[in-house]
Amino acid sequence: METFTPALFVAALALVGAVIAIAALLSGLVERSGIPQVAIFLALGAAIGPAGLGLLEVGLGSPSLQIVATLSLALILFTDALSLSLREAREHAGLAALLLGPGTLLSAALFGGLAWLWLGLPGPAAAILGAALASTDPVLLRGLQRRRDLVPGARLGLRLESGLNDVVLLPIVLVAMAFLHPEVETDGPALARLGLDLFLLGPGAGVAVGLFGLATLDLVRRRIGVRRDYESLYSLGIAFAAYSAAESVHGSGFLAAFAAGLTIAAFDVELCDCFREYGETTAELALLLTFVLLGSSLIWTGLGAADAKTFGFAALVLLGRPAVYGLALAGTRIDRRSRWLIAWFGPRGLSSLLLVLLAVFAGAPGADELFRIACLVVLLSVLLHGGAIVWMGRRGDAAPEPSPLAPLLSLVGGGAAEEPALASAREPGEAAEPFADPDRIGLAQVRALLAVGAPVVLADVRKESAWREGDVKAAGARRLSPDRPADDARVMGLPSDAWIVLYCT
């Protein structure tokens, strides 16, 4: 049991500061090289752990680990729901159903069955391990989805899966935990109470906190105004309030956090981008901090548990996902390359470990063994999937070729009928003086450039959320991130002598 001391407090602050500073300084290198952040912070944990400098040693019973892991999982679920585009989920409901049904749930059943038959684990323990290993790592997936050369079909599938799979798997873990405790009643009334706590009280508290938080923010913003930087902090307040509210009524705080984020996303209120971005960044830093704590010693216990049986189980798990998802997506209209990428990139990481840690923190019998097996799978996954991301970057896969320049003057889905919407945005006198304003360019100016045969590339530089959820997109436009346009242009091989017309709303 940890005892609070001034030295422990200083060490904790130093660790948090180091994680934040290193994550910031290496962000550019990580993005360009494709080296997984997870691997870097596991190495950092090993360097300061007992086998390295001996500055940090964390056990499974550590209160610090429990606090950080709990906050991390709550933030993952909240930001996953908050970032979920319900419009996109509705438009691709068939794909989402395949990813969550034949994909996620069938994978969990397959891995649980393997754990029961191959490893001889009890049924509830096997269900926990199967559900945990069906979860994908948000940090590795986020790094993959930031790649500009990732094909659109794979980006869509991975985004839908990462936003929804944890909330499908979490109830399996929570219900199975009840069956692992011999002293817990599992008769009809007890199961009914468990269902009430999990599926009504938890989500209900999350919805209530989300609605109250939105209403309060809107009222205060209209009456007296809210600073943008504090609006970003407000998102964390809602996540933690939802978790606490549910736990206070014996519901699941994790499901409440997801429900609160989903409520905000469903109402589609006008929020500054910082609201989502700050929550996502904070969640990512919490995850990396947890990886450092686990990397000091705990995650390496997976290597100590490796024998022929557990290593064979890990290999079957890593090979099982491509087989399951390959079959699930076989009948879809997604292109073959996208199907392969979705099937292969199901990296196991902190989400898997956090789900198993719930059983550890609850004192479930045999949970320590589940954790060690999960650690072995996660380490192999970081090596295989992280290495695949680096390999993709070194291959330098070319981005899709731009569409012909002619469609640049129409809008996707609208054609000539929507062209007046662009024309109405012209400044007075723009047609007569095509280049009067060096900082702006309109439809008439684009026509003038095309008329003389000038190379023109239309670039959409809207914020990620506005680009993904917007109803109108310019046909043939290349997608450049507003945060790193020059890097994206180099990756796409845009000609340096072309006119790059930036499209933003």
Three-state helix/strand/coil letters over 272-289:
CHHHHHHHHHHHHHHHHH
Q: Write out the DSSP string of 127-177.
A: HHHHHHHTS--HHHHHHHHT-TTS-HHHHHHHHHHHHHHHHHHHHHHHHHH
Instruction: Write out the chain's pLDDT in tens, 505 residues.
Output: 455 456 655 666 677 777 777 777 777 766 666 677 778 888 888 888 888 778 777 888 888 888 888 988 898 888 888 878 777 888 888 888 898 888 899 999 999 999 999 999 999 999 999 999 999 887 777 767 777 677 878 888 888 888 888 888 999 998 898 888 766 566 667 777 778 877 888 899 999 999 998 889 888 888 888 777 677 778 888 989 999 999 998 888 999 999 998 998 887 566 655 666 766 777 777 888 888 888 888 899 999 888 999 999 999 999 999 999 989 888 788 888 888 888 888 888 888 999 999 999 988 888 999 999 999 999 999 888 887 777 765 555 444 444 333 333 333 333 333 333 333 334 444 444 444 445 566 667 767 766 766 777 777 777 665 555 555 666 667 777 666 676 667 666 777 667 777 766 6
Phi, psi of 152 (to 5 degrees): -60, -40
**Is the domain defined by 15-25+35-55+64-393 classed in CATH 1.20.1530.20?**
yes
Closest CA to 239 of 89, 353, 80, 354: 80
Residue 94 CA neighbour count, 13 Å, CB half: 5
The per-residue pLDDT for range 148-186, each reduced to its tens digit, is 677 878 888 888 888 888 888 999 998 898 888 766 566
Whole-angstrom distance, CA of residue 48 vs CA of residue 37: 17
Residues of 243-257 as b/e, b for ≥16 C-beta within 10 angstroms?
bebbbeeebbbbbbb
Name, in order, each residue with C-beta under 8 angstroms of 367's C-beta and a sequence gap of 6 or more: 125, 128, 180, 356, 359, 360
Closest CA to 67 of 293, 228, 318, 264: 293
What the block records as the tokens of 155 is 């980006």
| Alpha-carbon Rg for the chain in angstroms | 25
- In the chain, where the domains are located: 15-25+35-55+64-393, 406-503
Residue with tokens 């076989």: 330
**What pLDDT was estimated at residue 447?**
72
Whole-angstrom distance, CA of residue 146 vs CA of residue 107: 26
Residue 246 sits at the vertex; the CA angle it makes with 243 and 251, to the nearest 5 degrees, is 125
Give the global pTM: 0.74
Whole-angstrom distance, CA of residue 87 vs CA of residue 469: 7
CA 486 to chain centre: 25
Name, in order, each residue with C-beta under 8 angstroms of 261's C-beta and a sequence gap of 6 or more: 77, 78, 79, 80, 81, 82, 84, 210, 239
How many CB atoms lie under 10 A from the CB of residue 83? 20
Number of residues written out for the chain: 505
Query: What is the four-CA torsion angle of 259, 262, 264, 270, rounded to 10 degrees?
Result: 170
Name, in order, each residue with C-beta under 8 angstroms of 131's C-beta and a sequence gap of 6 or more: 108, 111, 112, 169, 170, 172, 173, 176, 355
**What pLDDT was estimated at residue 368?**
92
Query: What is the four-CA torsion angle of 345, 346, 348, 354, rounded to 10 degrees?
Result: 140
- The SS3 call for residue 423 is helix
